[in-house]
Amino acid sequence: MPVILKVDSLRRVVYSTFYGKVTEAELVRHGFTIASDPDFKREFSEIVDFSEVTELSISDAALNKLASTPSLFSRSVRHVIVASTEPGFQIASRFKAMSSETRPNVIVVRTRAEAYELLGIRPDSIQIT
């Protein structure tokens, strides 16, 4: 799967960095991967980074289904989506609108630096590999 997952217990953040071509099946499967990580806690914030995605293939129906599915995270958690390309930003913005009931704290930004700033994380303290 074209994603790197890091659950950072110290900073209380789940980082998901997608790259290359990403399909809707992979996005759905990734939720199960997060839930099965022994370090995952519902109270952690989330950063979903699509900066390295070259193609994001998801239908409106699948996006709506994903948005309407209850979140793994607590309701108060901030979900920050990094979408540096225009197509990615548009999809992330549609997801934000569709998920307002299940994820009221979705924020879409263009850069990782904005995501880190929103969550009060020093970028130089992060190592995602």
The answer to whether the Cα torsion of 31, 88, 18, 96 is positive or negative is negative
Does the structure show a pLDDT above 60 at 129? no
The answer to whether 42 and 71 are in contact (CB under 8 A) is: no
The candidate with the shortest Cα–Cα distance to 18, out of 1, 35, 37, is 1
Residues 62-115 have pLDDT tens digits of 999 999 999 999 999 999 999 999 989 999 999 999 999 999 999 999 999 999
Cite the DSSP H helix spans in 15-111. Answer: 24-36, 60-68, 86-98
CATH number of 3-122: 3.30.750.24
What is the pLDDT confidence band of residue 122, given thresholds at 50, 70 and 90?
A: confident
**Which residues are bridge partners to 56 per DSSP?**
22
- The rounded mean pLDDT for the chain is 92
What confidence score (pLDDT) does residue 57 get?
86
What is the pLDDT confidence band of residue 124, given thresholds at 50, 70 and 90?
A: low
Does the structure show a pLDDT above 60 at 39? yes
Q: Can you read off the two tokens belonging to residue 6?
A: 């890091």
Does the structure show a pLDDT above 90 at 53? yes
What is the DSSP-derived secondary structure letter of residue 105?
T
Record the pTM: 0.92
Does the structure show a pLDDT above 90 at 30? yes
Does the structure show a pLDDT above 70 at 3? yes
What is the DSSP-derived secondary structure letter of residue 11?
T
